[in-house]
Structure 1
Amino acid sequence: MTNQMPSRADRPLRADARRNRQRVLEAARDAFVEDGTDAQMEDIARRAGVGVGTIYRHFPTKQALIDTLADQWLADSAAIAAEALELPDAWEALSAYVRRSAEDMMRNRGLRQVYGGLGRLFEKGTGGRNSELVTNVRRLIDRCHQAGVLRADVGFAEFRALMYGLAMATSNADTLGAQQLYADVILKGLRP
């Protein structure tokens, strides 16, 4: 048996490296909320109070940083769907999920891109958090079908397409509150 040193990826981060990574993620999240995928690594480094090299030590490419943030946003969306599932009324639960998603998308340009242009919402191969999101949203849809409050011809694929559309609509919204109009239109169309 050989005594091999653990690879760099297998070793836990030092406390200062963990703090720097967290600062980078928080700064990147803020930058992506405002600028979406157009956010610049130099701006993120400045916001985090670190050098650009520190970012690249944790995230070898900008896409790796975007993917990490996308996973966080998917986890947030899964949590929103889980909260909605706690509501006893099936329609109110689905409505709460759609409305909250619309509000979050309106505030967060990066999230809109994940939902829409980047196509990460509900897609296969985007991690365990995504599987939790898929499971929770399927449960919301199934509950509505069982209660007879959702069109029978709207399944998971159709709902996913509508959420993509919601992301694109909110990206083009020029007035605060427009996301509620878009959510209302989608919800009205989902009724039998």
Structure 2
Amino acid sequence: MTSTAEPRPMRADARRNRRRVLDAARVAFEEGGAEVQMEDIARRAGVGVGTIYRHFPTKQALVDELIDEWLADGAANAAEALRIDDPWEGLAHFVRLSAEVMARNRGLRMVFGDIGLLFDENTGHQNRELHDNATRLLARAHAAGTLRADVGLREFRTLMCGLAMTVSLAGPDERRLYADVFLQGLHT
């Protein structure tokens, strides 16, 4: 006999603990990257390690959830950039904002920069909204004649991953400089 009952909803305290774990993990990965230990995350979240493993059976499962959140953040940043009327300024806003996010988020840089997953549709971590918003940003800049014709999404993604690695080694003033040089290379 096959059960058609839907899974029981998570209890309120379990939902809160899960969110606390994710919030603590996000900060820990932003500061320490992939080397962060589950015990450190548990301590930051104020829960036991067993609580983490009840929600995330492996460290990779936790990282995967964070990747999905980071992609959603990127989609929101791209949507914000699309609200800027000038196509070039919208794209430039997205690049500068992304550079700042990457500079302060070691875990995100490690995941996306080292292996070049940003916007990639074949990673198992897909955010259609980020992909579509980035595509729209590029299309608007192309239509306005402000973005090099030979830079498509693939090239943009690769260059953004390189920018992520560059800004990770830079101070705030250098980050702005590197983002501006990056943008000058994209501009027609």
5 Å-filtered alignment, 1:67-82, equals: 67-82=64-79
- Paired residue secondary structure (1:94): helix
Matched, 1:135 2:164: no
- Paired residue secondary structure (1:177): helix
Match of residue 166, structure 2, among 165, 169, 180: 169
Q: TM-score, normalised by structure 2?
A: 0.94
Residue segments in structure 1 that go unaligned for 5+ positions in a row? none
The code of the aligned residue for 1:186 comes to: F
Structure 1 residues 83 and 190, CA, compared in 2 at 3 Å: closer, same or farther? same
- Given that 2:138 and 2:152 are in contact with CA atoms closer than 8 Å, whether structure 1 keeps it comes out as yes
Match of residue 180, structure 2, among 170, 180, 184: 184
Aligned to 2:24: 27
- Given that 1:112 and 1:170 are in contact with CA atoms closer than 8 Å, whether structure 2 keeps it comes out as no
Aligned to 2:80: 83
Aligned to 1:46: 43
**Deviation per CA, 1:155-180, whole angstroms, max 9, x where unpaired?**
1111001111011112222x233221
Report sequence identity in percent: 62
Distance 1:147 1:77 in 2: 23
- Given that 1:70 and 1:120 are in contact with CA atoms closer than 8 Å, whether structure 2 keeps it comes out as no
The alpha carbon displacement at 1:127 in A equals 4.7
The alpha carbon displacement at 1:64 in A equals 0.7
Structure 1 residues 178 and 115, CA, compared in 2 at 3 Å: closer, same or farther? farther
Structure 1 residues 140 and 22, CA, compared in 2 at 3 Å: closer, same or farther? same
- Given that 2:88 and 2:146 are in contact with CA atoms closer than 8 Å, whether structure 1 keeps it comes out as yes
- Paired residue secondary structure (1:150): coil
The alpha carbon displacement at 1:118 in A equals 4.1
Aligned to 1:65: 62
- Given that 2:116 and 2:158 are in contact with CA atoms closer than 8 Å, whether structure 1 keeps it comes out as no
- Given that 1:115 and 1:163 are in contact with CA atoms closer than 8 Å, whether structure 2 keeps it comes out as no
Aligned length: 187
The code of the aligned residue for 1:89 comes to: D
CA RMSD of aligned residues (A): 1.6
**Deviation per CA, 1:126-167, whole angstroms, max 9, x where unpaired?**
455x11101000000000010000111111111001111011
Residue segments in structure 2 that go unaligned for 5+ positions in a row? none
Aligned to 1:13: 10
Distance 2:187 2:99 in 1: 18
Q: TM-score, normalised by structure 1?
A: 0.92
Structure 1 residues 37 and 82, CA, compared in 2 at 3 Å: closer, same or farther? same
Distance 1:120 1:11 in 2: 34
Structure 1 residues 47 and 154, CA, compared in 2 at 3 Å: closer, same or farther? same
Structure 1 residues 6 and 118, CA, compared in 2 at 3 Å: closer, same or farther? farther
Matched, 1:150 2:147: yes
Distance 2:107 2:74 in 1: 13
